[in-house]
């Protein structure tokens, strides 16, 4: 998406003064860390395969049903693995029967498995982020006066003498009498799928999330993921992973791009905790598609986030890995997506390796446990319909099954789940536009495409109810 299109969308939402501020800052969004050697994605992935002793990886299925290697879309063949890992059973076999056991024993086990095998660990030597307000302005959103600020976070690696700059835009109501809840939304700079309704109001659609939030007395923040980490690991690219590693390849359990984006959201929350107009105990995270994955990872690992709206996140997000439907583990280990995950994740797509062949059934964890890490905090899982553009590829049913299987943890911690039975194998999704919105774990499939825009008008009152605001 070119800069002129971004400019037009910002004008629709923020008013011309704020639009000038944000559009002129777009040029600063790409990190500037210099590198001399180019390492393409295929070479980087091969380096990780060599580290792990992987000789070959299985190819992922195609999303196109006309292709000879198309993904499975037959529900009868979708569940080849009989059981998911038991979310409330310790590795020693003991059942988790109390909140104390969850927090002190089981949750740390699950976190360790996700960090080591799936999303990677945040290095201990990541430099501190120093935030400064670069510019402020006033504008009108949803007929209300707002205060906006462009906030820049500098990350400086003293060892290499190189730095990069994270970009955050914060907007809050000008007339608020007390601190307001804020949603951090992944966007800006790399327009992901489903964001057309984020910045303005397309004809015939709902108001943008920004307009709905301001009208409801919330604030919002746009975090530019590409200002933190490009959607690849190619060198030179100047992202946080490269900055910390000084151009060297990752180790097998180092963080991938999803975890880097989640880290950035946490650093954004660090800034919001210093902003007196923001209720830092009521900050949420939102994203669609790959940014839906990042939003769920953010919520799972950082318990300071109070609420999440996870849109069409699919494989690597809310979708069960142990599902033969749509996108598969082998797609996440492909050259185009492997960078989202820890290097160790490649093992589960290996067809020939020193440790033998592994698949999704060998993963120590699955998506239901990622959702469970968010408990008891409120999580709203959003999908659209294949008929209108949210492809079967994202596996809406497999994500619903994961939410069902996370329910016992919510109940153990005194929260409400979806209100279904615990048998994820037989539970079917509610009808389109039928929301399960009575508990801290919520689900709604809207009747539009690869976007969460139609669910914002349900998410905001649901979140207000969870916060006791209305």
Out of 89-103, 112-126, 223-237, 253-267, which region has the weakest mean confidence (pLDDT)?
Answer: 223-237
3-state secondary structure of 433: coil
pLDDT band at 10 (very low <50, low <70, confident <90, very high): very low
Write down the pLDDT at residue 6: 36
Write down the pLDDT at residue 20: 33
Domains held by the chain: number: 1
pLDDT at 11 over 80: no
Please give the backbone phi and psi of residue 455, each rounded to the nearest 5 degrees, phi first: -95, -5
Write down the pLDDT at residue 236: 77
Exposed, middle or buried by CB within 10 Å (0-12, 13-18, 19+), for 351?
middle
CA pair distance 446, 432, nearest whole angstrom: 6
Write down the pLDDT at residue 196: 38
5's enclosing H/E stretch is helix 3-24
CB neighbour list of residue 29: distance below 8 Å, 6 or more residues apart: 167, 188, 189, 224, 226, 227
Domain that holds residue 346: 3-467
Write down the pLDDT at residue 408: 98
pLDDT at 8 over 90: no
CA pair distance 60, 89, nearest whole angstrom: 32
3-state secondary structure of 243: helix
CA pair distance 203, 226, nearest whole angstrom: 29
237 token code pair: 């690219």
Contact 329/337 with Cβ under 8 angstroms?
no
183's enclosing H/E stretch is strand 180-186
C-alpha distance across the termini of the chain, in Å: 38
CA pair distance 174, 196, nearest whole angstrom: 26
Each residue's pLDDT tens digit, 384-434: 999 999 999 999 999 999 999 999 999 999 999 999 999 999 999 999 999
CA pair distance 360, 81, nearest whole angstrom: 9
Cα dist from 138 to 20, 132, 211, 217, whole Å: 11, 18, 15, 16
What's the whole-model pTM score? 0.91
Each residue's pLDDT tens digit, 265-283: 999 999 999 999 999 999 9
* Nearest C-alpha neighbor of 169 from the set 183, 155, 190: 183
* Nearest C-alpha neighbor of 123 from the set 234, 239, 253: 253
CA pair distance 205, 208, nearest whole angstrom: 9
CA pair distance 233, 341, nearest whole angstrom: 11
298's enclosing H/E stretch is helix 290-301
**CATH code where residue 311 lies:** 3.40.50.1820
Write down the pLDDT at residue 428: 92
Each residue's pLDDT tens digit, 277-310: 999 999 999 999 999 999 999 999 999 999 999 9
Each residue's pLDDT tens digit, 56-69: 999 999 999 999 99
Each residue's pLDDT tens digit, 230-262: 999 988 766 999 999 998 999 999 999 999 999
pLDDT at 116 over 90: yes
pLDDT at 1 over 70: no
């Amino acid at each position: 998406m070119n800069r002129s299109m971004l400019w037009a969308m910002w004008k629709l939402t923020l008013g011309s003064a704020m639009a000038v501020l944000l559009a002129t800052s777009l040029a600063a969004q790409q990190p500037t860390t210099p590198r001399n050697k180019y390492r393409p994605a295929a070479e980087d992935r091969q380096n990780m395969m060599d580290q792990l002793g992987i000789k070959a990886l299985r190819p992922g299925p195609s999303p196109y049903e006309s292709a000879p290697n198309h993904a499975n879309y037959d529900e009868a063949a979708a569940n080849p693995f009989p059981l998911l890992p038991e979310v409330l059973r310790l590795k020693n076999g003991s059942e988790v029967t109390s909140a104390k056991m969850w927090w002190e024993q089981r949750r740390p086990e699950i976190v360790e498995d996700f960090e080591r095998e799936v999303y990677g660990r945040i290095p201990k030597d990541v430099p501190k982020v120093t935030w400064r307000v670069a510019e402020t302005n006033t504008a009108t959103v949803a007929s209300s006066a707002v205060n906006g600020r462009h906030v820049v976070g500098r990350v400086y690696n003293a060892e290499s003498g190189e730095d990069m700059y994270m970009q955050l835009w914060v907007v809050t109501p000008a007339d608020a009498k007390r601190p307001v809840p804020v949603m951090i939304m992944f966007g800006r700079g790399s327009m992901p799928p489903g964001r057309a309704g984020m910045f303005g109001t397309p004809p015939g659609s709902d108001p943008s999330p920004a307009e709905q939030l301001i009208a409801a007395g919330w604030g919002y923040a746009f975090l530019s993921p590409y200002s933190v980490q490009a959607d690849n690991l190619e060198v030179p690219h100047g992202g946080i992973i490269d900055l910390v590693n000084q151009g060297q390849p990752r180790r097998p359990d180092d963080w991938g791009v999803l975890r880097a984006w989640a880290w950035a959201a946490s650093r954004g929350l660090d800034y919001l905790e210093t902003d007196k107009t923001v209720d830092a105990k009521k900050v949420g995270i939102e994203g669609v598609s790959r940014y839906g994955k990042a939003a769920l990872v953010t919520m799972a690992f950082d318990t300071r986030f109070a609420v999440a709206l996870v849109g069409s996140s699919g494989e690597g997000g809310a979708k069960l890995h142990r599902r033969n439907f749509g996108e598969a583990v082998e797609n996440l280990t492909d050259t185009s997506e492997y960078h989202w995950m820890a290097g160790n994740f490649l093992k589960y797509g290996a067809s020939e390796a020193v440790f033998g062949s592994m698949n999704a059934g060998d993963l120590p964890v699955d998506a239901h446990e990622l959702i469970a890490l968010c408990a008891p905090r409120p999580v709203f899982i959003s999908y659209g319909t294949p008929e209108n553009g949210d492809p079967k590829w994202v596996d809406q049913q497999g994500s619903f099954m994961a939410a069902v299987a996370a329910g016992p943890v919510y109940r153990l911690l005194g929260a409400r789940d979806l209100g279904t039975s615990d048998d994820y194998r037989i539970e079917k999704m509610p009808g389109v536009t039928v929301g399960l919105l009575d508990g801290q774990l919520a689900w709604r499939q809207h009747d539009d495409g690869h976007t969460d825009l139609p669910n914002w008008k349900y998410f905001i009152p649901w979140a207000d109810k969870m916060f006791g605001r209305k």
